[in-house]
């Protein structure tokens, strides 16, 4: 992973934040222990952080530079994991955008322009539910799963906001 590019920074930081979330969450949410192995959970949360970051960046830039950034993120994954990581990013993207994934190229990340006006809370909830469903492999979520979903959604969105701040530091006068 080339962390010297914006896409590499997004993917690398998302990976680090995903790992640290599960270190913390395994203690607070024992429900996580019933879900599939760490590798699968980490990939899914990393995808959620990446998608959240891209949504926030597109929202703040009005979409300027979106295609280049999405391509940079797509190319930032090591070849050995690229398919798995991009597949998770595409699955979440298509879920949020209500798109058919079959219409995407293998390495494409779609535009999130249509989500720009959505309230943060709605996006956080949608991301959390997608994560919990994907991690649990359940068709529906029960009350403990919803608690985990809310935590994962908040974690992804908060991590994304921190990445955006790294990429776009405040201007000082």
What is the rounded CA–CA span in Å between residue 18 and residue 167? 18
What domain count does the chain have? 1
Residue 172 within a domain = no
In a domain, 173, yes or no: no
Q: Are 36 and 45 in contact (CB under 8 A)?
A: no
Hey, what long-range contacts does 128-132 have (CB within 8 A, 24 or more apart)? 128/152, 128/153, 128/154, 128/156, 129/153, 130/48, 130/91, 130/92, 130/95, 130/96, 131/44, 131/45, 131/48, 131/156
Domain membership flag for residue 137: yes
How many C-beta atoms surround the C-beta of residue 156 within 10 A?
A: 31
Answer whether residue 1 is part of any domain.
no
Length of the chain: 173
Q: Which domain holds residue 146?
A: 6-167
pLDDT confidence of residue 103 = 86
Is 86 within the bounds of a domain? Answer: yes
Is residue 147 included in any domain, yes or no?
yes
- For 24, residues 6+ apart whose C-beta sits below 8 A from its C-beta are none
Whether 70 is covered by a domain: the verdict is: yes
Task: Answer yes or no: is 107 within a domain.
Answer: yes
pLDDT tens by residue, the chain, 173 residues: 556 899 999 999 999 998 888 777 777 777 776 766 565 678 999 999 999 999 999 999 998 999 999 999 999 999 999 999 999 999 999 999 999 988 899 899 999 999 989 999 999 999 999 999 998 888 999 988 898 899 899 999 999 999 999 998 654 44
Residue 84 is encoded by which pair of tokens?
A: 């798995």
């Amino acid at each position: 992973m080339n962390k010297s590019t914006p896409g590499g920074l997004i993917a690398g930081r998302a990976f680090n934040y995903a790992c640290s979330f599960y270190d913390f969450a395994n203690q607070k949410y024992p429900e996580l222990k019933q879900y599939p192995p760490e590798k699968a959970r980490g990939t899914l949360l990393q995808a959620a952080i990446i998608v959240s970051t891209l949504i926030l960046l597109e929202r703040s830039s009005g979409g300027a530079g979106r295609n280049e950034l999405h391509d940079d993120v797509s190319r930032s994954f090591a070849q050995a994991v690229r398919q798995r990581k991009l597949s998770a990013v595409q699955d979440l993207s298509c879920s949020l955008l209500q798109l058919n994934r079959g219409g995407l190229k293998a390495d494409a990340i779609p535009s999130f322009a249509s989500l720009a006006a959505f309230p943060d809370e709605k996006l956080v909830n949608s991301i959390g539910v997608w994560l919990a469903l994907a991690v649990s492999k359940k068709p529906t979520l029960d009350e403990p799963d919803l608690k985990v979903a809310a935590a994962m959604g908040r974690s992804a969105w908060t991590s994304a906001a921190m990445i955006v701040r790294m990429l776009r530091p405040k201007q000082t006068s």
